[in-house]
C-alpha cells in the first residue's frame, strides 16, 4: 500500500531513507579513515601519531555530516532517464560548494588544533588556488560516491515498492486523518512547495512529500509525468491540444485542464488512454 504516513516527507520509508544510506557511508568512511590514518602514522614514523588522526578525523566527520545534504540533492534532482544530462550537470556543479564547505571546516578545525599546542598547520602554504583544486578533485569523487549510494538505495526502495502487492487504494495522510483514494478517482497530482496535492472530483488532498517520490509509486497505477511539478492519471485524459509555446493543454474528465510541458510530450505521444 502506498502511504503518506509511514513514509518520510518524500514518500520513502523515513527510517530507511534517512538512516540506511547514511549509515553505509559512515561505516565505509570509518574504514577509509582508519586505513588512511594508520598509513600516515606508519609513513611518518618520525612525526606525532596525533597528526594523521587529526587530518583523517576532521575530514571524515565533515564529509559524513554533509552526506544527508547530498541525499536531499539526489531526491531533488534524481538521475532519471529523461533528465539524466541535466541532473548530472547540476550534481557536478554541487561538488563545488560541497568542496568549499569541506575545506572551510578542515581548515578551521586543523588550524585551531595546531594553534592550541603552539604549532602551525599551514594549510594554504602551497597557494590557495592549488590547494583548493587539490581538495576539490578528491571531494568531487567523494560527492559522486555519496550520490551513487543514495541513488542506488532509492532505486532499491522503488523496486521493492513496485514489487509489493498492489492495494487498489492509495493511502495518504491529509492533516491528521488517513484517507484512502482509488486511483480512478484521482485526476492529477501536483507539487505545491513541500507538499503534494491530490486532485479528485470532490476535493483536493494536501500531503507533505515530493513529486519524484510519489511518481515512483504511482507510475504502476497509470500516472505519468507531464510537467516538472505535475502527474496526471492517463485514464482521465480526454483530449490533448498543443499550445503556441510547444507545451500541451491536457483535458481531463469533467472538463478539467492542466498544462503539460513540451519536455514530456513523448509520454503523451500515444494520445489519451482508452
Residues 128 and 20 grouped into a single domain: yes
Query: What is this structure's pTM?
Result: 0.58
The C-alpha angle with vertex 4 and arms to 202 and 164, in degrees rounded to 5, equals: 110
φ, ψ of residue 7 in degrees (nearest 5): -90, 170
Residues 149 and 36 grouped into a single domain: yes
Q: Is residue 236 part of a domain?
A: yes
State pLDDT tens for residues 246-259. 888 999 988 889 99
The answer to which of 72-76, 120-124, 172-176, 247-251 has the lowest mean pLDDT is 172-176
DSSP characters over 184-248 = GGEEEEEEETTEEEEEESS-EEEEES-HHHHHHHHGGGTEEEEETTEEEEGGGEEEEEE-TTS-E
Residues 99 and 147 grouped into a single domain: yes
Residues 123 and 100 grouped into a single domain: yes
State pLDDT tens for residues 47-67. 678 888 888 999 999 999 999
The better pLDDT of the pair 40, 165 is held by: 40
| Cβ-contact 190, 240 below 8 angstroms | no
Q: How far is CA 147 from CA 59, 77, 140, 153, in A?
A: 18, 11, 10, 10
| Interval 155-159 mean pLDDT | 77
Give the structural domain span for 118: 14-163
Q: What is the pLDDT of residue 102?
A: 95
pLDDT band at 212 (very low <50, low <70, confident <90, very high): confident
| pLDDT of residue 17 exceeding 80 | no
Residues 217 and 257 grouped into a single domain: yes
Number of domains making up the chain: 2
| pLDDT of residue 274 exceeding 50 | no
pLDDT band at 181 (very low <50, low <70, confident <90, very high): confident
Q: What is the domain-level CATH number for residue 232? A: 2.40.50.1020
| pLDDT of residue 167 exceeding 70 | no
DSSP characters over 232-268 = EEGGGEEEEEE-TTS-EEEEEGGG-EEEE-GGGGGGG
Q: What is the mean pLDDT of the chain?
A: 84
| Interval 157-186 mean pLDDT | 75
| pLDDT of residue 33 exceeding 80 | yes
Residues 142 and 208 grouped into a single domain: no
> Nine-digit cell at 262?
513540451
CA distance 180 to 2: 10
CB atoms near residue 178 (< 10 Å): 12
Residues 248 and 195 grouped into a single domain: yes
Q: What is the pLDDT of residue 180?
A: 87
Q: What is the pLDDT of residue 157?
A: 77
The better pLDDT of the pair 14, 67 is held by: 67
Q: What is the pLDDT of residue 1?
A: 42
DSSP characters over 110-122 = HHHHHHHTT----
Residues 182 and 152 grouped into a single domain: no
| Cβ-contact 90, 108 below 8 angstroms | no
Query: Where does a domain end: 163, 197, 227?
Result: 163
Residues 150 and 195 grouped into a single domain: no
Amino acid at each position: 500500500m502506498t502511504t503518506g504516513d509511514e513514509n518520510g516527507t518524500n514518500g520513502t520509508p523515513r527510517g530507511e531513507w534517512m538512516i540506511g544510506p547514511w549509515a553505509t557511508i559512515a561505516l565505509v568512511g570509518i574504514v577509509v579513515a582508519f586505513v588512511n590514518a594508520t598509513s600516515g602514522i606508519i609513513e611518518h614514523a618520525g612525526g606525532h601519531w596525533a597528526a594523521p588522526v587529526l587530518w583523517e578525523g576532521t575530514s571524515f566527520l565533515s564529509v559524513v555530516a554533509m552526506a544527508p545534504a547530498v541525499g536531499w540533492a539526489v531526491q531533488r534532482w534524481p538521475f532519471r532517464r529523461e533528465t539524466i544530462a541535466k541532473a548530472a550537470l547540476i550534481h557536478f556543479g554541487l561538488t563545488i560548494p560541497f568542496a568549499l564547505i569541506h575545506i572551510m571546516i578542515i581548515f578551521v578545525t586543523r588550524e585551531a588544533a595546531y594553534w592550541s599546542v603552539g604549532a602551525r598547520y599551514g594549510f594554504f602554504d602551497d597557494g590557495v588556488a592549488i590547494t583548493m583544486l587539490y581538495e576539490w578533485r578528491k571531494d568531487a569523487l567523494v560527492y559522486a560516491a555519496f550520490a551513487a549510494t543514495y541513488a542506488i538505495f532509492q532505486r532499491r526502495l522503488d523496486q521493492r515498492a513496485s514489487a509489493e502487492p498492489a492495494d487498489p487504494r492509495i493511502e495518504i495522510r491529509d492533516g491528521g486523518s488517513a484517507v484512502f483514494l482509488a486511483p480512478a478517482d484521482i485526476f492529477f497530482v501536483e507539487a505545491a512547495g513541500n507538499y503534494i496535492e491530490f486532485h479528485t472530483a470532490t476535493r483536493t488532498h494536501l500531503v507533505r512529500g515530493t513529486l519524484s517520490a510519489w511518481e515512483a509509486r504511482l507510475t504502476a497505477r497509470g500516472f505519468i509525468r507531464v510537467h516538472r511539478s505535475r502527474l496526471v492519471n492517463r485514464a482521465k485524459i480526454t483530449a490533448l491540444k498543443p499550445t503556441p509555446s510547444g507545451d500541451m493543454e491536457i483535458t481531463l474528465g469533467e472538463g478539467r485542464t492542466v498544462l503539460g510541458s513540451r519536455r514530456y510530450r513523448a509520454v503523451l505521444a500515444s494520445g489519451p488512454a482508452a
